[in-house]
Amino acid sequence: MERTKRIGNIAFGICMLIASLIMIFDMEDGYRIIVYFLIVSLIYRSIKCFIYFFLMARFKTGGIVILYKGLILLDAGVFALGLDNIPISYGMIYLIIVALLSGVIDVLQADQSRRMETGQWRFQFAYGASKVVIALLCFFYLNSLRWLTYVYCAGLIVSGVTRISTALRKTAVVYIE
């Protein structure tokens, strides 16, 4: 992993920890911070996909998928802009669905890594499974906004710590002779 990518993951993990702690102590402001954080990250990732598509991916086989990915991310980011005007419980449903889909994608990527016989699929599988379990627990506590907030913040804390630990882990360098 590059140094700038490591620094970005550490900063992102610290932001997740801070946002979860703010949400635990002040639910209104914490909710807004998490929603704005989600909006910025979705729109930023969509812009990265657009730049990559117009510079390189349009010349590759299947590069149009990158454009579609950018459009979907932009659409999700613009949709998330409207989460500020609805009640918190409905906005939390959207955040829970995002966490659930993210966990399912992590589990599927871990399964693909296991099939390719790479060594680090267990960590990714455990991380994805924990995100799925936390999202399902959030759906279970949907009637109590306080417990829903605690469970969701626990998931954010787990995600933040995982990002920081992944960024600090040493990776093998492959030399080609």
pLDDT tens figures, 144-166: 777 877 888 888 888 889 889 88
170 or 47, greater pLDDT: 47
Structural Rg of the chain based on CA atoms: 18
Q: Which of 59-68, 100-109, 137-146 has the lowest mean pLDDT?
A: 137-146
C-beta separation of 10 from 167 below 8 A: yes
Are 3 and 164 in contact, with CB atoms under 8 Å apart? no
Q: Lowest-confidence range among 30-34, 54-58, 109-113, 147-151? A: 30-34
Evaluate whether 77 touches 42 at the Cβ level (below 8 Å).
yes
What does DSSP assign to residue 169? S
Written as six digits, the tokens of 172 are 């093998």
Statement: residue 38 has pLDDT above 90: no
Q: Which stretches of the chain are DSSP H helices?
A: 3-25, 27-55, 64-81, 88-115, 121-140, 145-168
Is the dihedral angle over the CA atoms 152, 158, 161, 167 positive or is it negative? negative
d(CA 8, CA 18): 15
Both tokens assigned to 16: 């997740």
The identity of residue 12, as a single letter, is F
- C-alpha span between 148 and 134 (Å, rounded): 10
Q: What is the dihedral of CA 64, 69, 72, 74, to 10 degrees?
A: -100
Question: What's the token pair of residue 106?
Answer: 């992590």
* pLDDT tens per residue across span 44-67: 889 998 998 899 888 888 888 888
Which structure tokens are listed for 127?
């991380």
> Side chain identity at 77, as an amino acid letter?
G
- Residue ranges of domains in the chain: 3-168
